[in-house]
Structure 1
């Protein structure tokens, strides 16, 4: 009688070994093996790699979200022990690298280096905007204000510095317009904006010029569209000390009103025709008429403002002088010949920036020394980034 084999999986016979009955007692059964490996997985089945282990290694290498990399690495090790998957080495490496990354970030954040790194990244991405200059900033330029300026160091305005920004003009996008075109725009815009920042032209030092930083063809490719208008010293190696800012943020209301009227008149006078009256009398008469009209507006502004008690009489004296000047400009605008025009022109200018202006400025706490002839005609120097 034969005994049936026990239920369950049958052990296959080794085709190369002796029959079971012929195997010596105690000899190892090399021909018998289980068809299943660890965790019940058949032999020969490919072993999968744990996905969390891979993710932990990637995060650890990149030092990106190191805390997440450490957590994923620990979870991966637990899953690998249970499932028998591969990837244990990757999970360990990812956990170690992520731990190092956490320590590194702790040091960076505690020392403030993260902010510096981020600012450097932004500066590189923005091209010329790496200068990071805004209205009111004072700075030192290692290479000076002439020629190419590749970098600047922002410093407090109260101390010595190379330049002070009084305006930033943003150009439209599109192809690079060329150096000549950008220079023309800078000349036009910077001159128009300087008196909005430093309203008291009498307070401007004689050795200060208008400079500007403008985009180069190379920086334009990186998105640079800024013309930076600034004040700088005309003497090589010399700088500025203290801020030149004098606008509604630093002046009182009475000073702002007075300087606004004075600057409007200066702007009108600046438009004087280049040719002499003998060469183009018609242009000069038209210009005289414009000055007459501007004076009328400024006189009304001065009369309508409630001046403090100490400034009422001085301002009234100035208004009287401006009325006389306005009359002479009107006569110049209708002069029949160049000599007559010149006579009224001289009388009109004699009533501008005279003793009454000085007295009114003193009463309002403004600069009271008239600029020397030619000081108001500042030359523009340019620099490219």
Structure 2
């Protein structure tokens, strides 16, 4: 997307009016008679002073108004023109405006102005999209685009905005850096918008709109994170599942489950069986702590009558999983460790949460993941 700045039209050139030349009366031969002088015509008003006053009042180009005011004062002194009061007023108002602009730059007022510009931009622009908006785009979610028409999420749409990420810095970071930042930040924020990962259809993927170099120069600093179908077809209905769509009990359960999901997602990257299991043992200890925290959160919440029994059964199963992860964390021998970790994975059975989910009205089908991944399950695969 590219924003084009249309420079303001060049205004009239303001210049001082020239005084008519003064011709003294020529004396006639002989005695000089006395001729009374008539009134001297008034001096012209300096045009630059008028311009300085106008720019000072409008306050949109304070530096220009300040310069014009100084020029006008010099011209008035040299030419004997009128308009000193207007020039002084222009200098004063422009100085005040320049001070206000400086404060705005320091305190972030320009950013607020840009956000206001985005809010006021036409409904067909990508810049107008906000978290929770659903939209259609002429080219779908592929390639370059600057247009997006907001539609109700109940209607068919190409994408749903789930986060806006502010890009730090003042210089354009380049396309490669923006791509890396956009992918990292958008994936990080997905779980906050779709807290129930089980409810997200398998064909939904993450997309984003990043600032172009042109829009950056005009203050665009936001990456727009979007959910859409990977096959490029449209879908209907919102994918959102957070505090705005969930009840208090659903929210409490998902917040507790996310503690364990986040720990499982920190699986050491190697993924290979080797003689050094120090990182794996440390990770297993972190998972043990996460299971204990999940149990604490589940016990602390006041569940409805129909949910208490399934939650108690889940807590009992999590207790066994905690013991299994603790054993893995305490096993130094590599061969024994891998056996302990496998036992811990088996104890962390996602099916334990199905009865609780059913009682709470949440999705009950675990997400499907790539079966070729043996040791690196996705976040949420073993959610209980």
Map of 1:151 onto structure 2: 147
For residue 286 of structure 1, report the CA deviation from its aligned partner.
0.9
Matched, 1:269 2:261: no
For residue 129 of structure 1, report the CA deviation from its aligned partner.
7.4
Q: Whole-Å Cα distance in 1 between the matches of residues 150 and 174 of structure 2?
A: 28
For residue 277 of structure 1, report the CA deviation from its aligned partner.
5.1
Q: Whole-Å Cα distance in 1 between the matches of residues 354 and 228 of structure 2?
A: 27
Please list, as runs of the form range in 1=range in 2, the aligned pairs for 1:1-385 lying within 5 A after superposition: 122=117, 131-236=127-232, 238-276=233-271, 278-279=273-274, 280-374=276-370
- Larger RCO (alpha carbons 8 Å, 6+ apart): 1
Q: Is the 8 A contact 2:125 2:146 kept in 1?
A: no
Q: 1:284 to 1:290 in 2, by over 3 A?
A: same
Q: Whole-Å Cα distance in 1 between the matches of residues 283 and 174 of structure 2?
A: 34
Q: Is the 8 A contact 2:210 2:223 kept in 1?
A: yes
For residue 229 of structure 1, report the CA deviation from its aligned partner.
0.9
Unaligned segments of structure 2, at least 5 residues: 1-37, 45-115, 372-376, 380-384
How large is the RMSD of aligned CA atoms in angstroms? 3.3
Q: 1:321 to 1:124 in 2, by over 3 A?
A: closer
For residue 207 of structure 1, report the CA deviation from its aligned partner.
0.2
Q: Is the 8 A contact 2:125 2:149 kept in 1?
A: no
| Rg larger for | 1
Comparing 363-372 with 214-223, greater Cα deviation is found at 214-223
Q: Whole-Å Cα distance in 2 between the matches of residues 366 and 140 of structure 1?
A: 28
Q: 1:248 to 1:223 in 2, by over 3 A?
A: same
Q: Is the 8 A contact 1:186 1:227 kept in 2?
A: yes
Unaligned segments of structure 1, at least 5 residues: 1-41, 49-120, 379-385
Q: Whole-Å Cα distance in 2 between the matches of residues 296 and 123 of structure 1?
A: 45
TM-score by length of 2: 0.63
Q: Whole-Å Cα distance in 2 between the matches of residues 131 and 186 of structure 1?
A: 16
Q: Is the 8 A contact 2:160 2:227 kept in 1?
A: yes
Q: Whole-Å Cα distance in 2 between the matches of residues 289 and 297 of structure 1?
A: 13
For residue 307 of structure 1, report the CA deviation from its aligned partner.
0.6
Q: Whole-Å Cα distance in 2 between the matches of residues 147 and 336 of structure 1?
A: 51
Q: Whole-Å Cα distance in 2 between the matches of residues 337 and 183 of structure 1?
A: 42
Q: Whole-Å Cα distance in 1 between the matches of residues 120 and 299 of structure 2?
A: 53
